[in-house]
Structure 1
């Protein structure tokens, strides 16, 4: 399902979703060092270029291990990475994966995250043959909940103390979108 031979580039009306490289480390550091962007990310705000390089190494490792894929979000006219989105925790025998996304604060409220996430959902169902895409979202993270609900995800329940991040246990809502309930949104 996850092909590592050629990285798929996805184009939308305003965006190009592409592979992230070490040349993107400074732009990743810019938005992942922002406290507001990192509120629900599960990590402390990045402090150095090495933090960004570690993130890029994680993107490469999930691709190499065939457990996920992460695209850099760029505006067509700029080419600078302003966020990322992708799939992780892919379970091939169950055709199931989780989705994740984040975006630079300067780009919030413009529909960019929705456009990017819709594009990778289309790709996931059509090209990667997923049956189920999950989103795990902290209850206070209302913007992410609204985004996935707009794209057709259903909240299935609350996973209590599901993750331990930044020195605390977090509850997470479990959302899912099934292939048979999916309507192409791009």
Structure 2
């Protein structure tokens, strides 16, 4: 399934194996910036071969209706500036999924992440017919909290020692939006 969603500040499209090198460059540019909120990766993760394999896996997951991962691209340059996924898709009795995203540090604060999350919410609620979309976010990640709240997500709780990042267990807020709020 090839996805394409047009926004005002960006567009989202399915990644292809031809995007692997651009993904490596995005990951390398943001390795330090993203490492504050995400688990660290081995050096091999930052190679075209591994990224091609991850893209192939995301294509397979989309065919199986389990996960939909897309790149976030800048309109003017067609440059890959982030990625976003609706993943862990569960069918009845849940009809839910998680959303996760990362934006190139240079593009933070420009409304791109907010627009990307809105576009994926439209996809999740209207095309996947989900009842609920959830997100986890570090209490320290003020920018991402703002993105979720501007998009209509509500904080539902705190998950204690939820994710292992840089040698320690970190708490995360639990956010969600249900279809009636969308």
Normalised to the residue count of structure 1, the TM-score between the two structures is 0.86
Q: Superposition RMSD on alpha carbons, in Å? A: 1.9
Match of 1:29 among 17, 24, 29: 24
Q: CA deviation at 1:147?
A: 0.6
Work out whether 1:68 is the aligned partner of 2:67.
yes
Q: What does the per-residue CA deviation read over 1:162-181, in whole Å, with 9 as the maximum and x for residues that have no partner?
A: 23345432221110001101
Closer, same or farther: CA 67–167 of 1 in aligned 2, 3 Å = farther
> Could you say which structure has the higher helix fraction?
2
Contact 2:5 2:13 in 1 (8 A): yes
1:1-186 to structure 2, matched below 5 A, reads: 6-33=1-28, 34=30, 35-44=32-41, 46-93=45-92, 94-182=94-182
* 1:75-112 deviation line (CA, Å, top 9, x unaligned): 22322221111201111121100001111111111111
Does the 8 Å CA contact 2:38/2:165 hold for their aligned counterparts? no
Q: Runs of at least 4 residues of structure 1 off by over 4 A?
A: none
Cα deviation code 1:32-73 (max 9, x no counterpart) = 122103321323375433343343234224323321101111
Q: Which runs of 5+ in 1 are unaligned?
A: 1-5
Check whether the contact 1:63–1:69 (CA below 8 A) recurs between aligned residues: yes
Separation of aligned partners in 1, 2:35 and 2:58: 17
SS in 2 for 1:7: coil
CA distance in 2 between partners of 1:68 and 1:148 (Å): 20
